[in-house]
């Protein structure tokens, strides 16, 4: 019912030359995998080259952030209008942006609205920190991130191709090698994220929106996550920088 979706978040890695090299390694392997939507999200500076290299392939392209205004005197920022020329997706509200760059549920909301209004599909990241996890407040935190980050959105009429993807990334699992358990992550997605999505958009939409898991996904553990009924794919960090590993993770998502 929901097509599996695997995205690579390259974070602040890969110069243009390095990106060209990695994409040339990725394309042949990824192209031959059907039944999974695959997307790479390199740094802004790689997008133009990446878009050219991916033309004519079935591999999507995404950015890692945007500003909400379409244009203006905002030195250093990149607008949804600019991104829409180059890519189809944009990651919004990653925990590293929340931690280091002052992103809040309110700025996430403005960015999501801006992305949607320019035809970009947002990949909205939510997840609790280690302190929140240990204090047992995951449900409150993740539910608030969904309700406030996605408040007031209109997703349109098409309930099949929902232009919104959620990534559940527990902060304590990112880059640590300590992934969540597959059934633990599935429980958060099923009981907290889809419930909050149903409050906002109704049951049908809540079942149609893809929800990914992110945090130390590797070829060795990917299948366990993908076998969970409410997890529809992955947002992959470190392992998306190695062609063989990313291809193996995408392969594991084939239904």
For position 171 contacting ligand 13P by CB under 6 A, the verdict is no
Helix (H) / strand (E) containing 211: strand 210-214
Judged by CB under 6 A, which of 61, 90, 237, 243 binds ligand 13P? 237
**Quick one: which H or E segment has residue 121?**
strand 121-126
Q: Which of residues 82-101 bind ligand 13P (CB under 6 A)?
A: 94
Scanning 25-33, 72-80, 197-205, 236-244 for contacts with ligand 13P by CB under 6 A, the matching segment is 236-244
Residue 233 interacting with ligand 13P (CB under 6 A)? no
In angstroms, what is the minimal distance from the CB of 56 to ligand 13P?
27
Q: Is residue 235 involved in binding ligand 13P (CB under 6 A)?
A: yes
- Determine the Cα–Cα distance for residues 58 and 204; give it in Å rounded to an integer: 27
Q: Which two tokens stand for residue 78?
A: 């990149």
DSSP letter, residue 104: -
The dihedral sign for the CA sequence 31, 32, 34, 40: negative
Q: Say if CB 119 and CB 156 are below 8 A apart.
A: no
For position 221 contacting ligand 13P by CB under 6 A, the verdict is no
Please tell me the count of residues contacting ligand 13P according to CB under 6 A: 14
Rounded CA-CA distance 255/252 in Å is 8
* Beta carbon nearer to ligand 13P, 94 or 210: 94
**Of the two residues 23 and 241, which places its CB atom closer to ligand 13P in the complex?**
241
Binding site for ligand 13P (CB under 6 A): 9, 94, 169, 174-175, 214-217, 235-239
């Amino acid at each position: 019912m929901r097509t599996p979706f695997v995205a690579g978040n390259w974070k602040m890695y890969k110069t243009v030359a390095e990106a060209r090299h990695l994409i040339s390694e990725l394309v042949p392997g990824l192209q031959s995998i059907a039944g999974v939507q695959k997307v790479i999200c390199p740094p802004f500076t790689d997008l133009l080259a990446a878009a050219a290299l991916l033309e004519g392939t079935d591999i999507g392209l995404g950015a890692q952030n945007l500003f909400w205004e379409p244009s203006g005197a905002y030195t250093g920022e990149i607008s949804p209008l600019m991104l829409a020329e180059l890519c189809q997706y944009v990651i919004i509200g990653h925990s590293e942006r929340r931690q280091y760059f002052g992103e809040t549920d309110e700025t996430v909301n403005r960015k999501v609205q801006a992305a949607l209004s320019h035809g970009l599909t947002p990949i909205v990241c939510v997840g609790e920190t280690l302190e929140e996890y240990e204090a047992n407040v995951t449900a409150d935190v993740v539910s608030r991130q969904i309700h406030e980050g996605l408040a007031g959105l209109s997703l349109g009429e098409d309930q099949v191709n929902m232009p919104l993807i959620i990534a559940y990334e527990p902060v304590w699992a990112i880059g640590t090698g300590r992934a969540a358990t597959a059934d633990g992550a599935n429980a958060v997605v099923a009981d907290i994220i889809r419930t909050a999505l149903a409050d906002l958009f109704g049951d049908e939409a809540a079942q149609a929106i893809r929800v990914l898991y992110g945090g130390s996904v590797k070829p060795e553990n990917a299948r366990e996550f993908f076998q969970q009924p409410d997890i529809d794919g992955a947002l992959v960090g470190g392992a998306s920088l190695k062609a063989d590993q990313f291809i193996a993770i995408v392969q594991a998502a084939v239904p």
